[in-house]
């Protein structure tokens, strides 16, 4: 007689993983929360106006940051958890953005879903930043994110090695916080592998994550100067304290579209430098839902023929678990 094995047990068995790679353990290493607001709400930090159907109105123009079917322009922790349950994702890392209320929402989610959510914050750069960092750390936040394009819009010209930024990197190192940098587009003035290298040399214990594979884009190799800049950025992957999150392909390679074959060639170049232990899969939802489904964002990398099963386990789970969750293997999802 054949016993029925519960699905929760089955998905962890080696045999089942061999026949169904959809049941690989997964951590989404880069997602965002968008708290619910009244349509027309103006953010006191950015002055951006948040309208219904995912529209964001900024001094630089209007853009839709969510699919139009998200009528209330929100993506809250409860919705994220439903997405994670649907696609078998155990844990997620909430990335910060320059928007008021977002760090509080991240902290709330960390506490509401123990072991399943890690949260990042953004802090003030020029004035209270170090004190804010200390405060967030004492409340249980272990990651700080710097989004260079947004910071430049807010503060004017701001370089990675700005003295105020350097003080914050030093504070993060002192507190043992992980620093995540989105350097902005390759052509952006503050996109500087050299300055990130300076940060790494100045703070020898700092662990640093570079977002979106260093932001390659469709057709990058046809732009020799930019391609060389990107190569210098991924060259930082030779340092054992640097990780790359492999996220936002639907945005960066929008013109190419699924299954993002060219994007994977850049991923291969990155892997050749930093190896399979320091790449972290993620989706950058909910914004990327405008251009791809969650399944597609998994499948792109599941179908990578230059990764074996062990490499995929690292990409989809183990690397993020070690870095963001201290290697903890117990969460409500696995019990
Ligand atoms: Zn993001």
CA of 284 to the centre of ligand 1 (A): 5
pLDDT score at 60: 81
CA of 12 to the centre of ligand 1 (A): 30
147-163 as b/e: b if 16+ CB within 10 A: bbebbbbbeeebebbbe
CA of 216 to the centre of ligand 1 (A): 15
CA of 30 to the centre of ligand 1 (A): 6
Give the residue among 278, 289, 320, 335 at the shortest CA–CA distance from 118.
320
Cβ-based neighbour number of residue 128 at 10 Å: 11
CA of 248 to the centre of ligand 1 (A): 7
Strands laid side by side in the 49-50 sheet = 41-42, 49-50, 55-58, 61-64
183-219 as b/e: b if 16+ CB within 10 A: bbebeeebbbbebbbebbeebeebbbbbbbbbbbbbe
Give the residue among 99, 115, 95 at the shortest CA–CA distance from 46.
99
Cβ-based neighbour number of residue 112 at 10 Å: 12
CA of 54 to the centre of ligand 1 (A): 16
CA of 31 to the centre of ligand 1 (A): 6
The answer, yes or no, to whether the previous bond of 308 is cis (omega within 30 of 0) is no
Q: Does domain 77-324 have CATH number 3.40.50.1820?
A: no
Give the residue among 123, 130, 114 at the shortest CA–CA distance from 144.
123
What span, in angstroms and rounded, lies between the C-alpha atoms of 148 and 45? Answer: 16
CA of 251 to the centre of ligand 1 (A): 11
Query: The tokens of 245 are what?
Result: 């999150």
What span, in angstroms and rounded, lies between the C-alpha atoms of 176 and 182? Answer: 19
Chunked into runs of 10 residues, the chain (335 residues) has average pLDDT values of 40 43 87 94 91 92 94 96 96 91 93 96 91 95 95 91 97 98 96 98 98 98 97 98 97 96 98 98 98 97 95 98 90 53
Dump the DSSP string for 123-192: --SSSSHHHHHHHHHHTT--EEEEEHHHHHHHHSS--TT-HHHHHHHHHHHHHTPEEEEE---TTSTT--
pLDDT score at 315: 98
pLDDT score at 10: 38
CA of 58 to the centre of ligand 1 (A): 18
CA of 275 to the centre of ligand 1 (A): 23
Secondary element (H or E) of residue 242: strand 242-246
CA of 2 to the centre of ligand 1 (A): 46
- The bridge status of strand 55-58 relative to strand 61-64 is antiparallel
Are the C-beta atoms of residues 270 and 279 closer than 8 Å to each other?
Answer: yes
CA of 286 to the centre of ligand 1 (A): 9
pLDDT score at 226: 98
φ, ψ of residue 39 to 5 degrees: the values are -55, 135
| pTM of the shown model | 0.91
CA of 311 to the centre of ligand 1 (A): 24
CA of 240 to the centre of ligand 1 (A): 23
CA of 32 to the centre of ligand 1 (A): 6
φ, ψ of residue 146 to 5 degrees: the values are -120, 115
CA of 239 to the centre of ligand 1 (A): 23
CA of 236 to the centre of ligand 1 (A): 20
Give the residue among 255, 304, 258, 254 at the shortest CA–CA distance from 281.
304
CA of 95 to the centre of ligand 1 (A): 6
CA of 276 to the centre of ligand 1 (A): 22
pLDDT score at 243: 98
CA of 238 to the centre of ligand 1 (A): 24
pLDDT score at 9: 42
């Amino acid at each position: 007689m054949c016993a029925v094995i519960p699905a929760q047990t089955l998905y962890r068995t080696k045999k089942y993983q061999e026949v169904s790679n959809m049941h690989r353990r997964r951590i989404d290493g880069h997602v965002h929360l968008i708290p619910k607001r009244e349509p027309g709400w103006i953010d006191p930090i950015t002055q951006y106006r948040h309208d219904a159907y995912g529209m964001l109105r900024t001094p630089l123009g209007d853009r839709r940051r969510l699919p139009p079917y998200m009528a209330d322009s929100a993506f809250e922790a409860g919705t994220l958890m439903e997405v994670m349950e649907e696609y078998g994702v155990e844990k997620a890392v909430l990335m910060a953005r320059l928007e008021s209320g977002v760090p509080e929402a991240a902290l709330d989610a960390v506490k509401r879903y123990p072991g399943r959510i890690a949260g990042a914050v953004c802090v003030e750069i020029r004035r209270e930043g170090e004190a804010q960092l200390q405060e967030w750390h004492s409340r249980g936040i272990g990651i700080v994110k710097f989004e260079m394009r947004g910071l430049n819009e807010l503060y004017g010209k701001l370089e990675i090695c700005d003295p105020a930024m350097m003080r914050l990197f030093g504070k993060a190192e002192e507190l043992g916080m992980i620093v995540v940098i989105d350097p902005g587009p390759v052509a952006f003035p503050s996109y500087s592998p050299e300055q990130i290298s300076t940060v790494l040399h100045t703070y020898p214990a700092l662990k640093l994550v570079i977002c979106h594979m260093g932001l390659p884009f469709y057709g990058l190799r046809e732009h020799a100067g930019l391609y060389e800049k990107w190569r210098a950025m991924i060259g930082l992957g030779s340092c054992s304290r640097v990780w790359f999150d492999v996220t936002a392909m639907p945005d960066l390679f929008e013109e190419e579209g699924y299954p993002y074959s060219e994007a994977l060639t850049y991923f291969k170049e990155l892997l050749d430098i930093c190896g399979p232990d320091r790449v972290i899969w993620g989706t950058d939802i909910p914004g990327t839902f405008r251009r791809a489904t969650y399944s597609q964002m998994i499948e792109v990398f599941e179908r990578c023929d230059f990764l074996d099963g062990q490499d995929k386990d690292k990409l989809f789970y183990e690397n993020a678990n070690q870095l963001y969750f201290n290697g903890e293997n117990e969460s409500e999802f696995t019990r």
